Structure 1
Amino acid sequence: MSSPDIRWAGPRALLIELGSLEHVLALHAQLLEHPPAGQVDVLAAARTVLAVFDSRANAQAARAAVALLDSSPSADAASSADPVRIEVVYDGEDLAEVGRLTGLGADGVVAAHTGQLWTAAFGGFAPGFAYLVGENQSLNVPRRSTPRTSVPAGSVALAGNFSAVYPRSSPGGWQLIGRTAARMWDLDRDQPALIRPGCTVQYVAVRELVEVSEPAGGAPAAPQANAPAKAATGAGPALEIVIPGPQSLIQDLGRAGYRDLGVSAAGAADTASARQANRLAGNPPGDAVIENVFGGLTVKARGELTAALSGAPAPAEIEGPHGSRPAPMYAPFALHDGEFLRLDRPTAGLRTYLAVRGGINVPAALGSRSTDLMSGIGPEPLADGTVLPVGEVARGRIVGDPEPSTLPDDIAAGAMDRPVVLRITTGPRDDWFTPGSREALTAQTWSVTPESNRIGVRLGTTGAGAALERSRTEELPSEGVVAGSLQVPPSGLPVLFLADHPVTGGYPVIGAVIPEDLPAAAQLPPGTSLRFVAVDPETLQPLTSAPSL
């Protein structure tokens, strides 16, 4: 076979483009079975495999090794396990239309759908959503011209040459041909996803659905979240949420290794500040903290606590039976039993982190306590009355000394008179844009819009700036994306993906903010001006000429 087209997706990830889905699945299986050194995640898509690494050096070594791999499909590559049976009532709203589009009629569509095995090629936009490819092209139909604003959970659908089951209610433009009671995602199972890449599926027509009683119970539903423990009122220390503010979430360093299941890493948007808060409180770096946006948070200590604040500097006051006192930023402080900590609006930046010695000890989901707003996994957003248990303090852990802020000077100062500068590497799809737009990405100033959130920083133009224009107009098959990706939708206005970004995207990525600058990107409030500067991925020094990939 010809060599794969290997592109950089940021300095630590490879986007490997192959000639067919069969080659994608073969290479994906090889990378799962024999992962190169430092591989932290791998994701198959329609024509690409995304491999993410823990360092530039390991990514470079893997790039050289992947170029020599033979990704030709083998005869024994198919799954040897029995197919997963999915019972379907074929009464979907689009069944007659699919019958017309294919020329098969409604009964013929059912026969074609149940008469072949389907193979899970890759994960989708939500946990448990798997793109299934059939053995033939008989049911290849376009998406609906107008997507539905809400597709019911359990809907069985077709789009292109793929079939899928919606694991939860969500918008969607696929053609609906039936419904199932199969639970596509259940965190109470050892394997939460009913279907993983490489699995085979047999659809079975039934007249009515029999819902199997499971621990989580009932019909298909949204991915479960670990509800904050309002009943956690035991003898141990705890932190009570009195007022959550605009948004307060429990976050740690996230959950890697689940992209294939449609689950992003999530975790703290500003990992540098979250690590600092834990370091100051005497915790390991991965302990859970509270991530607060725009202040307004009030908490009450249950028991004697040691806490620390980091990230966006915000005036903070401690009030209790014996008076009030200010709480410092970037230094540990005591929070006595019954005292209240009130956090005001930040004077600069966007997100402030609160750590308590021992860490927030709520149940973990897929190995992490982080709230993932995109996937709906992890603790719910914090609400008044929520009681958060605090973990035991490991022996030998001591609080840290006061430190300076981890925020860059131009953000920490709160000055709005000059743009914040973020470093980027180009690609993997910069060749989809006109030369003028590739130049404009770094030549013009952009602004952060109010629609920004943990999924991504949405950008607008300023002054004489213009939206980016594509040189290629065809549809890009969905492919894996990393945090920091600058994805460009049809509007031409980039979206800078943050911690809760979708694992795949269908719009071209023109560049990626380097991992070292992502904490700064997460601290940009609406209205901030910013500029991008292209850097060499090896030295992180500004480029003076086209990058050598």
Structure 2
Amino acid sequence: MSDRDSTTHGPGAAHDGTGVPSPATPRAANVTRSGSGAPRTAPRDRATAPATSSSAAPDTATPPRTGLRWAGTRAFLIECPTLEHVMRLHAHLSAHPYPGQLDVLAAAETVLLTFTTPAAARRAASDVVDIRLDSTEPAAGKDVAIDVVYDGEDLAAVGKLTGLGERGVIEAHTGADWTAAFGGFAPGFAYLVADGDPLEVPRRDSPRTAVPAGSVALAGRFSAVYPRRSPGGWQLIGHTDAPLWDVDREEPALIRPGDTVRYRAVRELVTVSSETALPASRRERKHALMIEDPGMQSLPQDRGRPGRGDLGVVASGAADRASAEQTNRLVGNSPEAAVIETLLGGLSVTARGHHVLALSGAPTPARIEGPLGGRAVTCHAPFALYDGERLTLGAPDRGLRTYLAVRGGIDVPEVLGSRSSDALSGIGPDPLSAGDELPVLKAAAGRTVGLPEPPAVTLPTLGETVTLRVSPGPRDDWFTPEALETFTSRDWVVSEQSNRVGVRFEEPPEGPPLERSREGELASEGVVAGSLQVPHSGVPVLFLADHPVTGGYPVIGVVLPEDLPLAAQLPPSSAVRFTFTDPPHPASDTAGDTP
């Protein structure tokens, strides 16, 4: 259940095992199916009459996009006829966001829009499919120069594939202006395109298990630079030392969608190093928590870093947000304060100074030991931990993740506005280790300690089957009627391979897997937390907080946000039954809307 090995191999990170999602394959028709397999019209046909933007004259406007597909209740995919249309739509929606718009993520053939509430998503859906973009609207961006040593292992092969030879490949690569179309595979990774597709080549037949950071590569019509070491099947033609991703910069990504990149051939790369001042000696803090034992895994988590999908950064944050926010509420913190998320108990901390703490999530036996003796601790209620006392958590009798909050919040360094640890991208603080000191912030004025509460999430007992509600789509029409019936009628058993990236399920001992209704592959596209992506095995993967930003397998449905905290608490061997809900309501209907 550890997440430490998932930084480059998260479930569904790439549909071909290469690490980088496929950029383009045939697009699906704009028809989806209900849970019973009967065809139904796309959700956009149920919306109120769309409005047309007045920012473009009819004679210069582009045609409308091919369709809209819901991805849960708070997000939808807009299908576009060309990559150029994707780029211009992404630029327009980034510059002119809808009310409540949280993120806009471009991919090869789609743009994913996510929102803060279902109502905001429905209102935008009633307008966006008929927005008309001025054909002269430029894509905003900066110019980026990247020095490249053209010594890649596949340079000769690319020369033969294109008929240009090695020198011709270099001249074509450096002679073109490359535009960043979209990101998504990893933080800092950008898919670049050039007019005329001067170097269109296939991916390697045999992907590499590890591509060095800084590798300059080609695949399909795209060029890219690998920001970090990762698996990959692209053709390597050179390398650079350009820092594609640096969280200490004001703009962490060197290349963003809309930027123009010019490659420059050099014989060698000269990296100028500068001395870094040594940090001041660490002084002992009066108000802190000392980690005596982190247990199986303990991570700092808060609400995450939403809105950075086009940089390849997922929101992350607490896997069971409802329980994390409950612990903060109990100690009088704001919902944004950082807490400790610990897996299957074993966490032990010692107080420096007097503190108020609370536990929520998976109920765990907890005990305090100190100079004045010991006492038991109750979950879902605030309690005191005095200077020098030690709190130790046992194994929970149900659930998976327990949350520990301290009044004021833990003060680990922020990365991109969040203190969360992201297992897939490696962004944020490392998992906690024995000997770590966690400073505690001063409590906010005017906030009081709360009263005991019932659990925020009702967790199942051993042997109880859990029901998770699923909004169908966006790619349920990729599956046969029999597969859709099987998806909701079968009990799916949680695998031990699950982690914060996603819940994996065991292969069913009886019956066929979820069978597709069509051949071919899906172009990589944006995904949201709760997505149930189905690889070729026919066994779904349920994406959690640290899911990849894009995926290359069809998503049969999306678990409702209200059920995700429960999904994050499912231990191995838990049985799950999925049930389809109605598709999102028209924009004029706000019944049942939740934030």
Q: Which bin holds the TM-score, normalised by the shorter protein?
A: over 0.9
Contact 1:158–1:176, Cα closer than 8 Å, also in 2: yes
Displacement after TM superposition at 1:7 (Å)? 0.5
Deviations 1:357-376 (A, max 9, x none): 00011111111100011111
Displacement after TM superposition at 1:538 (Å)? 4.9
Answer yes or no: is 1:95 the counterpart of 2:142.
Answer: no
2:231 maps to which of 171, 182, 206: 171
Contact 1:230–1:388, Cα closer than 8 Å, also in 2: no
Contact 2:141–2:256, Cα closer than 8 Å, also in 1: no
Contact 1:445–1:465, Cα closer than 8 Å, also in 2: no
* 1:137-286 → structure 2 map (5 Å cutoff): 137-213=197-273, 233-286=283-336
1:221 is matched with: none
Q: Give the letter aligned to residue 532 of structure 2.
A: L
Q: Give the letter aligned to residue 295 of structure 1.
A: G
2:125 is matched with: 63
1:398 is matched with: 448
Question: Does the residue aligned with 1:277 lie in a helix, a strand or coil?
Answer: helix
**Which moved further from structure 2: 163-172 or 266-275?**
163-172
Displacement after TM superposition at 1:232 (Å)? 5.5
* 1:133-532 → structure 2 map (5 Å cutoff): 133-213=193-273, 233-408=283-458, 411-412=459-460, 414-416=461-463, 418-462=464-508, 464-532=510-578
Displacement after TM superposition at 1:33 (Å)? 1.0
Question: Does the residue aligned with 1:15 lie in a helix, a strand or coil?
Answer: strand
1-structure distance, mates of 2:320, 2:442: 25
Displacement after TM superposition at 1:464 (Å)? 3.1
2:102 is matched with: 40
* 1:81-92 → structure 2 map (5 Å cutoff): 81=142, 83-92=143-152
1:28 is matched with: 90
Residues 263 and 231 from structure 1, CA distance in 2 versus in 1: closer, same or farther, beyond 3 angstroms?
farther
1-structure distance, mates of 2:276, 2:224: 22
Displacement after TM superposition at 1:461 (Å)? 4.0
Residues 533 and 76 from structure 1, CA distance in 2 versus in 1: closer, same or farther, beyond 3 angstroms?
closer
> What runs of 5+ residues in structure 1 fail to find an aligned partner?
218-228, 540-549
Question: Does the residue aligned with 2:402 lie in a helix, a strand or coil?
Answer: strand
2:138 is matched with: 77
Displacement after TM superposition at 1:211 (Å)? 1.6
Contact 1:23–1:71, Cα closer than 8 Å, also in 2: no
Q: Give the letter aligned to residue 153 of structure 1.
A: A
2-structure distance, mates of 1:60, 1:362: 37
Contact 1:232–1:387, Cα closer than 8 Å, also in 2: no
Deviations 1:142-173 (A, max 9, x none): 11122111111100011111111011111111
1-structure distance, mates of 2:236, 2:376: 58
2:165 is matched with: 105
Answer yes or no: is 1:7 the counterpart of 2:53.
Answer: no
Residues 300 and 431 from structure 1, CA distance in 2 versus in 1: closer, same or farther, beyond 3 angstroms?
same
Displacement after TM superposition at 1:323 (Å)? 1.2
Contact 2:141–2:257, Cα closer than 8 Å, also in 1: no
CA RMSD of aligned residues (A): 1.7
Residues 214 and 32 from structure 1, CA distance in 2 versus in 1: closer, same or farther, beyond 3 angstroms?
farther
2-structure distance, mates of 1:421, 1:260: 33
Contact 2:122–2:584, Cα closer than 8 Å, also in 1: no
Contact 2:381–2:451, Cα closer than 8 Å, also in 1: yes
Residues 514 and 214 from structure 1, CA distance in 2 versus in 1: closer, same or farther, beyond 3 angstroms?
farther
Contact 1:444–1:465, Cα closer than 8 Å, also in 2: no
1-structure distance, mates of 2:467, 2:100: 29
2-structure distance, mates of 1:214, 1:23: 43
Deviations 1:63-107 (A, max 9, x none): 0110220146x33414464x2000000000111111111111111
1:543 is matched with: none
> What runs of 5+ residues in structure 2 fail to find an aligned partner?
1-62, 586-595
Question: Does the residue aligned with 1:110 lie in a helix, a strand or coil?
Answer: helix
1-structure distance, mates of 2:286, 2:97: 42
Contact 1:313–1:346, Cα closer than 8 Å, also in 2: yes
2-structure distance, mates of 1:473, 1:360: 50
1-structure distance, mates of 2:257, 2:284: 42
**Which moved further from structure 2: 385-394 or 230-239?**
230-239
Displacement after TM superposition at 1:2 (Å)? 3.8
Residues 215 and 97 from structure 1, CA distance in 2 versus in 1: closer, same or farther, beyond 3 angstroms?
farther
Question: Does the residue aligned with 1:249 lie in a helix, a strand or coil?
Answer: strand
Deviations 1:318-368 (A, max 9, x none): 111111111110000000111111111110000000000000111111111
2-structure distance, mates of 1:58, 1:33: 18
Report how many aligned residue pairs link the two structures.
522
Contact 1:287–1:359, Cα closer than 8 Å, also in 2: yes
Displacement after TM superposition at 1:537 (Å)? 4.3
Displacement after TM superposition at 1:214 (Å)? 6.8
1-structure distance, mates of 2:351, 2:447: 21
Residues 216 and 276 from structure 1, CA distance in 2 versus in 1: closer, same or farther, beyond 3 angstroms?
farther
Residues 297 and 133 from structure 1, CA distance in 2 versus in 1: closer, same or farther, beyond 3 angstroms?
same
Question: Does the residue aligned with 1:460 lie in a helix, a strand or coil?
Answer: coil
Question: Does the residue aligned with 1:334 lie in a helix, a strand or coil?
Answer: strand
Displacement after TM superposition at 1:188 (Å)? 1.4
Contact 2:146–2:263, Cα closer than 8 Å, also in 1: yes
Question: Does the residue aligned with 2:318 lie in a helix, a strand or coil?
Answer: coil
Residues 57 and 425 from structure 1, CA distance in 2 versus in 1: closer, same or farther, beyond 3 angstroms?
same
2-structure distance, mates of 1:294, 1:466: 33
Residues 216 and 162 from structure 1, CA distance in 2 versus in 1: closer, same or farther, beyond 3 angstroms?
farther
Question: Does the residue aligned with 2:504 lie in a helix, a strand or coil?
Answer: strand
Displacement after TM superposition at 1:272 (Å)? 0.3
Residues 375 and 188 from structure 1, CA distance in 2 versus in 1: closer, same or farther, beyond 3 angstroms?
same
1-structure distance, mates of 2:551, 2:570: 23
TM-score using structure 2 length: 0.85
Displacement after TM superposition at 1:137 (Å)? 2.2
**Which moved further from structure 2: 234-243 or 430-439?**
234-243
Higher relative contact order (CA 8 A, sep 6+): 2
Answer yes or no: is 1:16 the counterpart of 2:66.
Answer: no
Residues 216 and 37 from structure 1, CA distance in 2 versus in 1: closer, same or farther, beyond 3 angstroms?
farther
Displacement after TM superposition at 1:27 (Å)? 1.0
1-structure distance, mates of 2:97, 2:240: 36
Displacement after TM superposition at 1:536 (Å)? 1.7
Contact 1:232–1:388, Cα closer than 8 Å, also in 2: no
Contact 1:102–1:138, Cα closer than 8 Å, also in 2: no
Question: Does the residue aligned with 1:99 lie in a helix, a strand or coil?
Answer: helix
**Which moved further from structure 2: 456-465 or 432-441?**
456-465
Contact 1:253–1:286, Cα closer than 8 Å, also in 2: yes
2-structure distance, mates of 1:214, 1:131: 31
Contact 1:445–1:461, Cα closer than 8 Å, also in 2: no
Q: Give the letter aligned to residue 515 of structure 1.
A: P
Question: Does the residue aligned with 1:441 lie in a helix, a strand or coil?
Answer: helix
